Amino acid sequence: MKTSDFFYNLPEELIAQTPIEPRDHSRLLVYDRKEDKIEHKHFYDLPSFLQKGDVLVINNTRVIPARIYGKIEGREATFEILLLKRRDYTHWECIMKPARKARLGSIIKISDELSAKVVELGDYGARTIEFLFDGVFEDILDRVGNMPLPPYIHEKLKDKERYQTVYSKIEGSAAAPTAGLHFTPELMQKIKDMGVTFVPVLLHIGLGTFRPVKAENIEEHDMHSEYYVLTKESAEIINAAKREGRRVICVGTTSVRVLETVADENGFVKEQVGNTQIFIYPGYKYKAVDGLITNFHLPESTLIMLVSAFVGREKTLDIYNEAVKERYRFFSFGDACFFK
């Protein structure tokens, strides 16, 4: 299967530059797989498509100010550093631009209180750096770091919390789990009052989620690992739903990747902490997931491939083309889909 099999034409003006206010007023495309039927709604209509006993699996990761800038003393070039994955207290995997100038042993000054030393080289601009500082790293990063908005967003974000879900909790992501950006506390309460349960999992989003597919044959794409946690309590709630025939609906592709990483052939999951490199594309048989709430994803990305494995490649492209025709807003600050 080729990467180009997942291409669709998207007018640039449909790439959302700012989030909708209120959060739940974004549009919602609902696709019923059994009836092969599309409905055009708003996210605040989601409760009418849920039922008592459903389980909504949410990723409670929180985005860190992962984009920082610095210089090598005596040189003109400014380096952009995007933090992706923490190895230990001082070492991070990251992407650096311009990478060719970030050689082994280079020391990049970020501020008077923070410098970074390049200690390992990787492909496609990947580097491992050691931070040099005095004090509490998180406090320093909060002062010098910037919210890591995707490169296709050119507008400045007025409120940093709009790139966090209202249920974000555990810091460590280089990007937001954007399907969750549509929820408000009021909408979540309304859904809970229906008898629907929200169950948290954790996946810290890094290069595995948003690295472009460079290979022509998708099977040759190398997924980077991302840290995840599924607690005993969450596993028990999910397994009870599976036993009783209730729906397990993932909010976002990252929640999907956690469940499908740990699920057995019958869709049951277990408490687990680890790193996942799971790459889901057509031909993959879903084990734990019965429904998916997600945004519209980039052409030829691993995320549209994941959706295509759930809905079917041709049907996914049909739905995306319909969304373009209906002038939906795309990508991180865009509208949502519910595939059920």
Helix (H) or strand (E) holding 62: strand 61-63
Evaluate whether 294 touches 284 at the Cβ level (below 8 Å).
no
- Give the pLDDT score at 232: 98
Residues 216 and 226: their CA atoms lie apart, in Å, by 23
Once rounded to an integer, what is the mean pLDDT over residues 106-127? Answer: 92
- Give the pLDDT score at 221: 87
Answer positive or negative: Cα dihedral of 26, 32, 294, 262: positive
Judged against a pLDDT cut of 80, whether residue 150 lies above it is answered with: yes
- pTM score, two decimals? 0.93
Residue where the block lists tokens 């734990």: 288
Per-residue pLDDT tens for 66-103? 999 999 987 888 999 999 989 999 999 999 999 888 88
Averaged pLDDT of the chain: 95
Q: Which long-range contacts (CB under 8 A, 24 or more apart) does 72-77 make?
A: 72/101, 72/106, 72/107, 72/108, 72/109, 73/107, 73/109, 75/101, 77/101
Per-residue pLDDT tens for 206-237? 876 767 788 889 988 888 889 999 999 999 99
Evaluate whether 143 touches 111 at the Cβ level (below 8 Å).
yes
Domains of the chain: 3-63+158-339 (3.40.1780.10), 67-144 (2.40.10.240)
Strands laid side by side in the 55-59 sheet: 37-42, 27-32, 336-339, 291-295, 248-251, 55-59, 197-203, 226-230, 272-276
Strand partners, 41: 28
Q: Per-residue confidence at 320, pLDDT binned at 50, 70, 90?
A: very high
